Structure 1
Amino acid sequence: MNIDEILKMMIEYLHSNKNSLIAQKDLGGGDDTRSFNAALVHSLRQDPDVIVVDEMRYID
């Protein structure tokens, strides 16, 4: 599996906004998701309390 295939993997579970605001990103499309680094920088600009990264097999 190469980095392009990993970036295009789908979100497996959609979280609902019950007691908090949850923003999920699916890498592979859009301006902020051209790469893992771009998506992470975009996420950090939103001033999150928590960031969860799943299945990080390769480092950019």
Structure 2
Amino acid sequence: MTAFARADRPLEGYGLVWEIKAVNHRYLEISPRLPDALRSLENAVRERCRKALARGKVEV
């Protein structure tokens, strides 16, 4: 199974775009791709995904 979601929103003069792509996978594998300025949020993104998902190969 494959899933894709995209949301965008203006935020204080910037555009914020969030995309999630997932394919069926035996284990949970999360690959966040954040700009360098937001790299410090990578662990928080992984934790949120772990709470919501049980398995799959996920690109955020």
TM above 0.5: no
Instruction: Output the TM-score relative to the length of structure 1.
Output: 0.34
* Higher RCO by CA contacts (8 Å cutoff, separation 6 or greater): 2
More strand by share: 2
